[in-house]
Amino acid sequence: MHRDMITQHAVVIAGGGPTGLMLAAELALAKVDVAIVERRASQDVAGSRSRGLHARSLEVLDQRGVVERFVSQGQPVQNVAFGQTPLDLSDFPTRHNHGLALLQERFERILAQWVEELAVPIYRGCEVTGFAQDDTGVDVALSDGRSLRAKYLVGCDGGRSLVRKSAGIEFPGWDASISYLIAEVEMTGAPAFGIRRDEKGTFAMGKQADGSVGVVLREEQVNTGEAPTLETLREGLVRLYGSDFGLRSATYLSRFTDMTRQAASYRDRRVLLAGDAAHVHSPMGGQGLNLGVQDAVNLGWKLAQVVRGVSPESLLDTYQAERHPVAARALRKTMAQTALSRGDARMDAVRETLSELLRMDEPRKQYAAMMSGLDVQYDLGAGHPLLGRRVPDLDLVTADGPRRVFQLLHEARPVLLDLGEPGALDIAPWADRVQRVSARDPGEWVLPVLGVVPAPVAVLIRPDGHVAWVGEGTEQGLPEALARWFGPPSTT
């Protein structure tokens, strides 16, 4: 087929789950022609592996001005824990000092509605079956026989990612040591609500918002093969509880393991990976969906600038440099929690000791910030404590009236927040790319774990909400930071 007859997009995303949808929204906000290929005919999914958002994910949605859509459909909760030890965020310096109980199916529907408003086309009922990349783009083959042409292809197609496999990207890590059944069921008997554990792992039942029963059962043998059946679930209930509690039906039934793997590279030339395609692990700790959403927000603006010719392709290298270490840490902490889920006497002693430590204030804060994503600091060099961290959502007084910092990021554009003498910092060569906002000194700057940090005179904020430069009275380093992140200076 002649290339002129092939549908073309700047970016094609394989997979319309949480990561793919969030990435599409980020690219659409940056005026990039992006399309999603999604095997499901609609966004409706049966059952939800993820049951909530952590604080940093709420902040990311707040940065785009859509967080209330999600908060209105969920329930604020203190959902951070480590090894079953709850970690309270209520004293953290953020407007979202909590998580949000919100099933993945509902999260996806709200996200898909936003993406639809942004006019992103979705090729539904088909999937990517292969691709070939060259120096100028990627030819993408779909299962319905159509072909697409894109400058870049992003695999957001899950742990078994065809994009990752076809790109030849290695996926090293650890094989499964345990498998679990997860289900949403109806029972005629009285369920045994609560968490239990034995020497092999954890099992639990909980009441769902719709009145059904959520079940998680460890399996006797590691099983990574065929899909589980209702009879498999019944046998597991009888083995662990001595009863199936009148199990009648299951609206959702799946299996997960603690297999832990991470892509050796997040990029092969014009093909990139995000979310579960880049890293898989046990759901313990609720990190998966949140990592994927934050991958998307880190990658989106960078890919947009490269596609538009604003920045060189080397900017994409910073995606792996920043996100790979974050996921690697999350994977190891998830492995630790899987080990802690086992219930022999020795592990009981470890869990008890860890719980004593995490009840102390400083360890609690450190682990709560880590598990919620509020402590992420990208390595942007030495300097001010703010450098590389998420910017606090401070209340500002500007010439246009009161503003929150996060409101300045709604359009996913970089911001130079100038709290000093108006106009003292020269960003004229980047004025078409970077929004300058002058404001009065908002007072104390407080970060999770670190507490109060020295107040800057100015900060350069990337579209993902992380601080790229801190001004402490001069513009030293500002032109270099602007060029590094937002392309060479304009000469016109």
**At 21, which CATH number?**
3.50.50.60
Please check the confidence at residue 40 and state whether its pLDDT lies above 60: yes
Give me the mean pLDDT over the 334-353 stretch: 87
Does 378 reside within a domain? no
Predicted confidence band of residue 1 (pLDDT cuts 50, 70, 90): very low
Q: What is the pLDDT of residue 276?
A: 96
**379 assigned to some structural domain:** no
Q: Which domain holds residue 202?
A: 179-257
Tell me: do 46 and 83 sit in the same domain: yes
| 417 plus 467 within the same structural domain | yes
> Quick one: 16 and 99 in the same domain?
yes
Q: Is residue 492 part of a domain?
A: no
Q: In which residue are the tokens 């402590």 written?
A: 375
Residues 268, 332 within the same domain:
yes
The domain boundary residue, chosen from 323, 340, 372: 372
**Pair 400, 456 in one domain:** yes
pLDDT at 3 over 70: no
Residue 382 placed within a domain = no
Tokens for 123? 């090729």
pLDDT tier, 490 (very low <50, low <70, confident <90, very high otherwise): confident
Q: Is residue 71 part of a domain?
A: yes
Nearest CA-CA partner of 342 in 132, 461, 221, 202: 202
pLDDT, tens digit, 9 for 90 and up, residues 289-303? 999 999 999 999 999
pLDDT at residue 284 in the model: 79
Q: Are residues 148 and 9 in the same domain?
A: yes
- Average pLDDT, integer, range 262-267: 98
In a domain, 309, yes or no: yes
Residues 128, 27: one domain? Answer: yes
| Residue 401 confidence (pLDDT) | 93
Lowest mean pLDDT among 23-27, 33-37, 180-184: 180-184
In a domain? residue 380: no
Flag whether 138 is in a domain.
yes
Quickly state the pLDDT bin for 491 (edges 50, 70, 90).
confident
Confidence band, pLDDT 50/70/90 cuts, at residue 129: very high
Q: Which of 339, 372, 405 is the last residue of a domain?
A: 372
Mean pLDDT of 84-107: 94
The enclosing domain of 482 has a CATH number of: 3.40.30.120
User: Do 151 and 207 fall into the same domain?
Assistant: no
359 and 290 co-located in one domain: yes
Same-domain check for residues 456 and 330? no
Q: Mean pLDDT of all residues in the chain? A: 93
pLDDT tens-digit map of 429-484: 999 999 999 998 888 999 999 999 999 999 999 999 999 999 988 889 999 999 99
The number of distinct structural domains making up the chain is 3
- On the question of pLDDT at 352 being above 70, the answer is yes
Residues 115 and 201 grouped into a single domain: no
Residue range 44-70, pLDDT digits in tens: 765 556 778 999 999 999 999 999 999
Query: Cβ neighbours of residue 206 under 8 Å, at least 6 residues apart?
Result: 193, 213, 214
Residue % of the chain over a pLDDT of 90 = 79
- pLDDT tops 70 at residue 341: yes
**pTM assigned to the model:** 0.94
3-state SS string for the chain: CCHHHCEEEEEEEECCCHHHHHHHHHHHHCCCCEEEEECCCCCCCCCCCCCEECHHHHHHHHHCCCHHHHHCCCEEECCCEECCEECCCCCCCCCCCCEEECCHHHHHHHHHHHHHHCCCCEEECCCEEEEEECCCCEEEEECCCCEEEEEEEEECCCCCCHHHHHCCCCCCEECCCCEEEEEEEEECCCCCCEEEEECCEEEEEEECCCCCEEEEEECCCCCCCCCCCHHHHHHHHHHHHCCCCCEEEEEEEEEEECCEEECCCCEECCEEECHHHCEECCCCCCCHHHHHHHHHHHHHHHHHHHHCCCCCHHHHHHHHHHHHHHHHHHHHHHHHHHHHCCCCHHHHHHHHHHHHHHCCHHHHHHHHHHHHCCCCECCCCCCCCCCCEECCCCEEEECCEEEEHHHHHCCCCCEEEECCCCCCCCCHHHCCCCEEEEECCCCCEEECCCEEECCCCEEEECCCCEEEEEECCCCCCHHHHHHHHHCCCCCC
203: domain CATH number is 3.30.70.2450
Instruction: Give per-residue pLDDT as tens, 366-406.
Output: 999 999 999 999 999 999 999 999 999 999 999 889 999 99
Average pLDDT in the 151-173 region? Answer: 97
Sign of CA dihedral 138, 147, 156, 168: negative
Last residue of a domain, one of 340, 372, 404: 372
Residue 224 banded pLDDT, cuts 50, 70, 90: confident
Map tokens 């289900």 to a residue.
183
Same domain, 59 and 168: yes
pLDDT-based confidence at 20, cuts 50/70/90? very high
